[in-house]
Amino acid sequence: MRRIVARAADAHRLNQAFSETPFDNFKFEPITEHQVSRAMTSRYFKDLDEYAETDVIIVGAGSAGLSCAYELSKYPNVKVAIIEQGVAPGGGAWLGGQLFSAMVVRKPAHTILDELEVPYEDEGDFVVIKHASLFTSTILSKVLQAPNIKLFNATAVEDLVVREDELRGKYVGGAVTNWTLVSLNHDTQMCMDPNVLECKVMVSSTGHDGPMGASGVKRLQRLGMVTGVPGMAALDMNTAEDAVVRNTREVVPGMVICGMEVAELDGCPRMGPTFGAMFMSGQKAAHCALNSLRRQNALDKDVPSRVAVPAPELTKA
Ligand code: AHZ
């Protein structure tokens, strides 16, 4: 009997020794609920105030939009707002094809992976990242840290600001926005008016499908600013990726398009699950936007430039 009691005491001692963790008796610093509320709202509304006038608005934070934002993070005096309708930025870049994990990137687009320090397996003419989310989380972390960039997610671009002057003709001058949950409920409620952010250049990277895919070029078509949006053609990896990068451009004054939105406008083939064109198209779009800013600053030479944009560097081939 005494032996049994002694063993039970040993077990209790052991149990105590092995159930201790470095987090036992952990205690947080004090806080009040209003402090939490003000910490969030004061910053959000300060950002809205600051970005009511911005240099660049990127619509859509998929692989093309994020690559554009990453390139623009190298120009700290260019103010950039990203507007993403989803709660989670990243678009289709959290997975590879058919919801598989690996992400395939054709060379030479792997140079951006080297820059971001995203590891990959080298397969010769292409590389493979073990999980698409590794690319997306890494580029997001760089973009979100950049002091010149603000992401407004859960926010949809519902329409464009379009103005006209003698120098440029019709040009895009901003984004008409609303909470995405509001945008998706216009049919269920009375009029719920939007907010507006002005920009000097918009980069539209809204992809090809989803509830609002290719919304930028579709709106331009309804406004008569582009003639048609035929939609992407059938899959052909070899021609698709070159075409998307080649056709990335300022399609009307003040609006650059990139990523799969280019294929929607120009009827280029789709590439399926190879992502190099998205990276390069996004990076090229950043340089098209910088060129547009410099051109506009030169046109507005009597007005003091809000941004001093340095000469663009050549995109890495
Ligand atoms: O939520 C959308 C997504 O994150 C967002 N978006 C679309 N319309 C919007 C709007 N306001 C705000 N009106 C909006 N945000 O835009 C993002 C588009 O990302 P994506 O990954 O769909 O497009 P992408 O062009 O960056 O990358 C396409 C990737 C594809 S599709 C494809 C194929 O089907 O063949 N191949 C590749 C590599």
Indicate if the pLDDT at residue 314 is higher than 70: no
Per DSSP bridges, beta strands 255-257 and 195-204 are: parallel
CB-based contacts of 190: which residues, under 8 Å, 6+ apart?
none
Please indicate whether residue 217, judged by its CB atom, sits closer than 6 Å to ligand 1: no
Q: How many helices (H) and strands (E) does the chain have?
A: 10, 11
Classified as helix, coil or strand, 27 is: coil
Quick one: which atom of ligand 1 is closest to the CA of 275? 38
Domains, the chain, with CATH or none: 55-299 (3.50.50.60)
Name which residue leads in pLDDT, 308 or 56: 56
Quickly count: other Cβ atoms within 10 Å of residue 18's Cβ: 8
Spacing, Cα 78 to ligand 1 middle (Å): 24
Q: Say yes or no to pLDDT of 77 above 90.
A: yes
Encode pLDDT of 4-16 as tens digits.
767 777 878 778 7
Q: Nearest C-alpha to atom 36 of ligand 1 is from which residue? A: 272
Given a cut of 80, is residue 165 above it in pLDDT?
Answer: yes
Cα of 287 to ligand 1 centre, how many Å? 20
Binding residues for substrate: 64, 84-85, 92, 157, 193, 208, 260, 270-272
Instruction: Retrieve residue 168's tokens.
Output: 């440029």
Q: What is the DSSP string of 30-77?
A: P--HHHHHHHHHHHHHHHHHHTTEEEEEEE--SHHHHHHHHHHTT-TT
Rounded distance between C-alpha atoms, residue 274 and residue 98, angstroms: 12
Lowest mean pLDDT among 93-102, 251-260, 263-272, 291-300: 291-300
Q: According to the model, what pLDDT value does residue 303 have?
A: 52
Give ∠ CA 178-183-188 in degrees, rounded to 5. Answer: 135
Residue 260 CB less than 6 A away from ligand 1: yes
Is residue 85 within 6 Å of ligand 1 at its C-beta? yes
Mean pLDDT across the chain, nearest whole number?
Answer: 93
Positive or negative: CA dihedral 92, 104, 81, 248:
negative
What is the pLDDT at residue 304? 52
Average pLDDT of span 157-186? 95
**Which percentage of the chain shows pLDDT scores above 70?**
93
Within the chain, residue ranges assigned H as helices are 2-19, 33-50, 63-72, 110-116, 132-145, 180-183, 215-222, 237-247, 260-266, 276-299
Residue 258 Cα to ligand 1 middle (Å)? 10
Query: One-letter amino acid identity for 21?
Result: T
**Cβ of 57 below 6 Å from ligand 1:** no
Please identify, by atom number, the ligand 1 atom nearest to the C-alpha of residue 240.
35
Say how far apart CA 112 and CA 139 lie, in whole Å. Answer: 10
Which residue CA neighbors atom 29 of ligand 1 most closely? 92
Coil, strand, or helix at residue 286?
helix
